[in-house]
Structure formats: structure tokens, C-alpha cells
Chain A
Amino acid sequence: MKSDQSLDCVGLYCPMPIVKTAAKIKELKVGEVLEVVADDKGIKLDMPAWCQTTGHECLGMEEKGGEIRVFVRKKHD
């Protein structure tokens, strides 16, 4: 999946990936896609929950070799 920006959260545990995503998403324009790379499995449930609350769109995930890539489309400012 293609993304406009990437955020490296490898080695970080809850709540840091979410906290960093919330800060990073501000740098994107509406419609752009942010890729978050993490290795804490919690993100698989946390990111869709974050998206549901904040109104951004969780496009999907890719898991490979212990790394999880989550793609989030910014829906509003």
C-alpha cells in the first residue's frame, strides 16, 4: 500500500505509537495516507480504535516478520 508519510514506532509500547500518530497526523494534508510501523501487537486493535474515535480512516494492515504496518488516511484537520 502506498503512503505519503511514514512513522517509525518500532520498539515503542502503548501508549507511544498512538501518541506519536496523533502528533504526526497533524503534518499531513487531508486525504493523505500515513504509514505507521510498529512491533507492539497492541497496535492491531489500538489503531482502528483510534481511527474510530478521531474520524480518520484505517485502510488496513500488513504484517511481516514481526513488524506491523498500519495505513491511516487523514479525513479532516
Chain B
Amino acid sequence: MVEKEKLTIVLFSGDLDHALSAFMIATTGASMGMDVTMFFTFWGLNVIRKNEGKIRSKGLMRKMLNMMNRGGSKRLKLSKFHMFGLGTWMMKKLMKELNMPSVDELIKMAQEMGVKLIPCTNTCGIMGISEDTLRGGIGSAAGAAFFLNEARQSKVTLFI
């Protein structure tokens, strides 16, 4: 068979709507027979952080940051109309009514389909996010060179 086309997505945003778009494109790409890699950096890291577990970062500043910025696919907020949770709650409810998968379900689907999820080593360091506070099945952290090498070989590269 011919070599698979590559799709590389950078998820920079930790907003619910951005994450949804990214994972919809990723799962569709995998369904289209593409080799999909997703990089998670800055707020995008929140999407692949565990929903449960304690804050374990070292140092006061990182502890404070992670208290305000817990992360986890179930804690994501809408980029617009979050309205102290009301807007996000309503959006999730509407999506459920239409049988649309949640971000959490999309992540699981993506992983089952072989989408590679790679955290950015740099932002993990800044934010004090250790690999054991990320969800299971995540690849080892990588840097910009790894991303660029993937992007260089990709037919499609997206920054979300």
C-alpha cells in the first residue's frame, strides 16, 4: 500500500470549542486513513490532563497556577459565552441531546484509532505538569524540532 498521508495538529487552546474542532478533525483524518499526530502546548495541555487526582506540582507559583488552571477534558470552558459555567453547561447539554460525542469521548476514540497525542515538553516544564498527571496512552513529551519534522512531512498541518 502507498505510504499514509500525514496530518499534524497543534492544539494551543484549552477551550472546549477549540478542542472539539481539533479532535473532530483528528478522528476524521484517522478515518480517512491518515497518520495523525497531535501536539499539545500551553492551554492545550489542559485537554489531555487527567480529570481526577490532586495538584502535585512543585513550588508555590506552579501550585497556584494549577489551582486556577486544573485542566482535564471535563473542565474545559467555551471560548465565548462561558457565563460562569452556564453557557458551557448548556452547550454540553445541547450536544448530548444531539448524540454528539464529548471531548472526553473524542479523545478516547482518537486514541483507539491510533492518533498520536504528544505533550510539549517545554510548557509541561513551565506549568509543572508531570507526565503522570496526563491521561493514559499519551506519547512521551517532545519539543519543537519533533513537531517541525512531523509538519514538514505532513500534507495538512493545523494550529488550533
A interface residues, Cβ below 8 angstroms from B? 11-16, 18-19, 21-23, 50, 53-54, 76
Contacts and interface: CB of A to CB of B under 8 A. Distances in A.
A18 B27 CA distance: 9
28 contacts: A11-B98, A11-B99, A12-B99, A13-B98, A13-B99, A13-B100, A14-B24, A14-B28, A15-B25, A15-B27, A15-B31, A16-B99, A16-B101, A18-B28, A18-B31, A18-B32, A19-B28, A19-B31, A19-B109, A19-B113, A21-B31, A22-B30, A22-B32, A53-B5, A53-B32, A54-B32, A54-B33, A76-B1
Interface string B7-32: 00000000000000000110110111
A76 B33 CA distance: 12
A15 B101 CA distance: 9
B interface secondary structure, majority: loop
A34 B29 CA distance: 20
A22 B31 contact: yes
